Amino acid sequence: MVAFVGLVGRWHQIWIQLLAGGSPLQITHDDGNHNQPRWAPDSSTLIYHRPSDTNGEPGVLYEISALGGHARPITASMTTADVSHAGDRIAFFLGDSERFALMTCGRDGSGLVEVAILPASRGVSRLGGTAATIIRSRSATTPMSSPTFIRRAGWSPAVCAFVPTSG
């Protein structure tokens, strides 16, 4: 299956599509934009970002069944999240005009950890709902505890930072 975002009326909604074909299935239906779905490792759920209606304020990360239903809020976030390969933690960004923090937490929102602080002078304080890509620096089996490479997409040239997860 592939998850994607499509415009329905004036809102971005999340859909899934079987690679073998058939009709796409709309997963989200409520008013508001739903951005950058990420599959959980077992493909049973999607994690996505819903930006705030107020510019500069954090939005919320949600988890929803791959077949739709009620979305469960996880935590506040300025960006979309990436899910650990074990599926138990997510990584995302929180910040303001002074600093930006790479954060992790459990899929239920518990165990919030500030991994690294990136000052606004690094050019990452304005990361938005679809701006950040968090890429672990080693193989696909690398745990969340290994060093992390952060790339700010959309700028030319890209702004990058390498941070140890110990902060």
C-alpha–C-alpha distance, residues 148 and 90, integer Å: 13
Q: For all residues of the chain together, what is the average pLDDT?
A: 78
**pLDDT for res 108:** 95
What tokens were used for 83? 């899910």
- What's the CA gap between 44 and 67, in Å, rounded? 8
Q: Which amino acid is at 156?
A: S
Where do the domains of the chain lie?
Answer: 2-163
Is 48:38 a contact under the CB 8 Å cutoff?
A: yes
- Supply the DSSP symbol for 10: T
The CATH fold of domain 2-163: Neuraminidase (2.120.10)
pTM of the model: 0.75
Q: If you search the block for the tokens 């469960």, which residue do you land on?
A: 72
- pLDDT tens per residue across all 167 residues of the chain: 899 999 999 999 999 999 998 999 999 999 999 999 999 999 999 999 999 988 878 999 999 999 999 999 999 998 889 998 889 999 998 887 677 888 999 999 999 999 888 765 544 434 433 334 443 333 333 444 454 545 444 443 444 555 544 44
